[in-house]
């Protein structure tokens, strides 16, 4: 099992973590956000956190809240990530759901996506990104030269992904508002094939027409379906989950069932280190890779 953290960030940093919160720097702005996995003590005091921070998310209910500003900062701003010879630009924003439009720990997957595509021999690489959110992984695939199909059920975040693509100068991304499960079923009927498939499903979710998604119930059948969409000669798949009940053994077993003949299945955990030596776990992953080399 691999334990991975992003090593190439310049414009993001986890400063401190603890007591169910995290102190983060996105560009020049410092945020305090809830973090259910940070069950340990903070290194710095609450007063030190608030003296450093521009803003803090204050929950008002189980799934929404408000931002309390300590210092002036914009409600929207951009940060960059260097990926090979390309620069990915992300628009960030203070949403009512504590998110800012980017999961910085996912940079380890962007690197994997980029390197996998550049190692393929096919002239035209096609990648499918499901539950694609604001499109960071879509940008990573596009930056490597792939033609990307980006699918998410929420129109607002698909529009956000379009803004990120424009800011990054990457236009070869087909943006679709759809339910991931239904889209995959249609692609199977069409006989479509992809060299890469990316899945970052939520624990719970809803499609644009009220479709219901539950990770534990639905991921096994979806993974078997997407396995049939992959080009047989060379391909990659990456499944990332952030669920307190999911271990790397679960996603490994899922991949072994969906890819019984694969000899290159890798599982692990993604984390972010803070300045004081504490490592914040932020999801488990499984990767499947087949090359012609």
Same domain, yes or no: 10 and 93: no
Write down which residue in 50, 76, 102 finishes a domain: 76
pLDDT in tens, 83-114: 999 999 999 999 999 999 999 999 999 999 99
Element housing 253 (H / E): helix 248-258
For residue 155, pLDDT over 90 is answered with: yes
Same domain, yes or no: 286 and 197: yes
In this prediction, residue 18 carries a pLDDT of 98
Same domain, yes or no: 154 and 22: no
Rounded to the nearest 10 degrees, the angle between the axes of helix 180-190 and helix 215-227 is 20
Q: How far from chain centre, in Å, is Cα 225? A: 21
Identify the domain containing residue 186 by its residue range.
Answer: 79-290
Cα–Cα distances in angstroms (integers) from residue 265 to residues 202, 225, 268, 276, in the given order: 22, 17, 10, 33
Neighbour tally for 101: CB within 10 Å: 21
Q: Among 59-63, 89-93, 228-232, name the one with the lowest average pLDDT.
A: 59-63
Same domain, yes or no: 137 and 276: yes
Q: For residues 270 and 234, is the Cβ–Cβ distance under 8 A? A: no
Write down which residue in 26, 47, 76 finishes a domain: 76
Q: Give the pLDDT mean for 54-68.
A: 94
Same domain, yes or no: 71 and 138: no
Q: How confident is the model at residue 142 (pLDDT cuts 50, 70, 90)?
A: very high
Same domain, yes or no: 84 and 181: yes
Same domain, yes or no: 41 and 19: yes
Q: How confident is the model at residue 242 (pLDDT cuts 50, 70, 90)?
A: confident
Strand order in the sheet with 12-18: 12-18, 21-26, 29-34, 55-59, 65-69
Single pTM value for the model: 0.95
- Give the residue from 136, 259, 130, 220 showing the smallest Cα distance to 182: 130
Same domain, yes or no: 118 and 45: no
Same domain, yes or no: 61 and 100: no
The phi and psi torsions of 52 (rounded to 5 degrees) equal -85, -35
In this prediction, residue 246 carries a pLDDT of 79
Q: For residues 251 and 220, is the Cβ–Cβ distance under 8 A? A: no
Same domain, yes or no: 88 and 52: no
Number of H helices, E strands in the chain: 7, 17
Neighbour tally for 279: CB within 10 Å: 14
Q: What is the CATH number of the domain that holds 45?
A: 2.60.40.1180
In this prediction, residue 293 carries a pLDDT of 64
Write down which residue in 32, 49, 76 finishes a domain: 76
Burial 237-276 (b: 16+ CB within 10 A, else e): bbbbbbbeebebebbbebbeebbeeeeebbbbbbbbebee
């Amino acid at each position: 099992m691999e334990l991975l953290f992003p090593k190439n960030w310049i414009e993001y940093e986890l400063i401190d973590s603890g007591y169910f919160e995290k102190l983060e720097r996105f560009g020049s702005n410092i945020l305090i956000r809830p973090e259910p996995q940070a069950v340990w003590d903070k290194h710095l005091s609450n007063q030190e956190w608030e003296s450093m921070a521009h803003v803090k998310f204050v929950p008002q209910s189980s799934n929404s809240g408000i931002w309390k500003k300590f210092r002036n900062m914009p409600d929207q701003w951009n940060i960059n990530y260097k990926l090979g010879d390309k620069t990915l630009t992300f628009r960030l924003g203070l949403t009512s759901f504590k998110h800012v439009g980017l999961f910085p720990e996912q940079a380890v997957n962007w690197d994997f996506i980029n390197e996998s595509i550049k190692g393929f021999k096919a002239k035209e690489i096609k990648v499918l990104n499901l539950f694609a959110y604001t499109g960071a992984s879509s940008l990573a695939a596009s930056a490597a030269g792939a033609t990307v199909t980006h699918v998410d059920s929420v129109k607002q975040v698909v529009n956000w992904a379009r803004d990120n693509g424009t800011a990054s100068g990457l236009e070869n991304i087909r943006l679709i508002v759809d339910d991931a499960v239904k889209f995959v079923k249609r692609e199977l009927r069409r006989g479509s094939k992809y060299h890469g498939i990316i899945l970052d499903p939520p624990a719970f979710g809803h499609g644009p027409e009220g479709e219901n998604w539950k990770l534990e119930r639905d991921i096994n059948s979806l993974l078997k379906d997407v396995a049939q969409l992959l080009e047989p000669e060379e391909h990659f798949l990456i499944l990332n989950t952030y669920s307190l009940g999911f271990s790397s053994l679960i996603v490994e077993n899922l991949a072994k069932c969906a890819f019984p003949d694969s000899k290159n299945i890798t599982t692990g955990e993604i984390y972010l280190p803070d300045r004081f030596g504490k490592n914040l776990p932020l999801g488990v992953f499984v990767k499947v890779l087949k090359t012609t080399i």
